[in-house]
């Protein structure tokens, strides 16, 4: 199958000013904004209608969540550095940065596993109260996004990296596009952290 079947993967379209891959990922991210927006809206609706609302800090573990925030922020810079390494034609640096990005994503999931386990040990479930229902739903959906991003990044580090030999510009674009998704996952967490844990 020819790589030229889908046009404008690298070349910029005259009408949009960007290539199709970039426009595509941004359109996907706008749909993601509305997906999480609906959940944030539900949070506001349920919170202002609740007779009482628990403090996140009394139920959730702030140090662990802060650590996870640091993991995601650090993974964002390593992700963008992996793209920058490819722009510099430094493939070995790309592999190192991408590996660190993946490890940080996995570390985020490990911390989340311990957080969820602690809640279940204390018999705190999504059905316990509205706050925990929202907590598990919003963080659970975010975790699914992290897993999706990790699968994509692992592909780009291992089998997908072969494209660097045959079509380096297209591979660089793929990493940039994957990076946009990964940064969005970080961006969602930036709002989830204070809303669920600190307020």
Partner 1 sequence: MSSNHVDTKKHLKIYLTVYISLMILTGVTVFASYIPTTVGLGITLALIIASIKSSLVAGYFMHLIAEKKIIFWTLVLTAIFFIFLIFIPLMSVLDPIKY
Binding site for partner 1 (CB under 8 A): 16-18, 22-23, 26-27, 30, 33-34, 37-38, 40-41, 44-45, 48-49, 57, 62, 66, 69-70, 73-74, 76-77, 79-81, 84, 86-88, 169, 172-173, 176, 179-180, 183-184, 186-187, 190-191, 193-195, 198-199
Find the shortest distance in angstroms from Cβ 123 to partner 1: 26
**For residues 33 and 118, which CB has a smaller minimum distance to partner 1 in the complex?**
33
Q: How far is the CB of 178 from partner 1 (least distance, A)?
A: 12
Nearer CB in complex with partner 1: 39/120 = 39
Q: How far is the CB of 161 from partner 1 (least distance, A)?
A: 17
Element (H, E) at 155: helix 130-157
Q: Which DSSP category does 160 fall into? A: G
Nearer to partner 1 (CB atom), residue 27 or residue 144:
27
Least distance CB 54 / partner 1 (angstroms): 12
Q: Find the shortest distance in angstroms from Cβ 119 to partner 1.
A: 20
Q: Are 119 and 79 in contact (CB under 8 A)?
A: no
Q: Which is nearer to partner 1, 56 or 150 (CB)?
A: 56
Q: What's CA 57's distance to the chain center, in Å?
A: 24
Do the Cβ atoms of 30 and 23 come closer than 8 Å? no
For the CB of residue 120, give the shortest distance to partner 1 in the complex, in Å: 25
Cβ(78)–Cβ(104) below 8 Å: yes
* Residue 135 buriedness (CB in 10 A; 0-12 / 13-18 / 19+): buried
Q: Quick one: 17 or 159, whose CB is closer to partner 1?
A: 17
If one counts every other C-beta atom within 10 angstroms of the C-beta of residue 150, the result is: 21
Closest CA to 76 of 159, 146, 29, 143: 146
Nearer to partner 1, 16 or 120 (CB): 16
DSSP 164: H
Task: Say which DSSP state 48 is in.
Answer: H
């Amino acid at each position: 199958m020819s790589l030229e079947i889908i046009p404008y993967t690298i070349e910029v379209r005259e009408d949009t000013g960007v290539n199709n891959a970039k426009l595509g990922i941004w359109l996907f991210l706008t749909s993601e904004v509305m997906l999480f927006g609906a959940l944030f809206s539900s949070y506001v609706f349920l919170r202002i209608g609740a007779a009482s609302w628990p403090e996140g800090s009394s139920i959730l573990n702030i140090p662990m969540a802060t650590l996870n925030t640091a993991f995601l922020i650090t993974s964002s810079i390593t992700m963008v550095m992996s793209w920058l390494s490819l722009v510099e034609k430094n493939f070995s640096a790309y592999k190192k940065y991408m590996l660190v990005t993946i490890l940080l994503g996995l570390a985020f999931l490990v911390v989340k596993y311990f957080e969820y386990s602690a809640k279940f040990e204390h018999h705190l479930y999504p059905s316990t109260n509205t706050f925990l229902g929202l907590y598990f739903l919003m963080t659970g959906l975010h975790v699914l996004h992290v897993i999706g991003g990790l699968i994509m990044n692992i592909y780009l580090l291992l089998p997908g990296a072969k494209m660097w030999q045959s079509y380096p510009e297209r591979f660089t674009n793929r990493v940039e596009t994957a990076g946009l998704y990964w940064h969005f996952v970080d961006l969602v967490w930036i709002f989830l952290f204070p809303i669920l844990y600190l307020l």
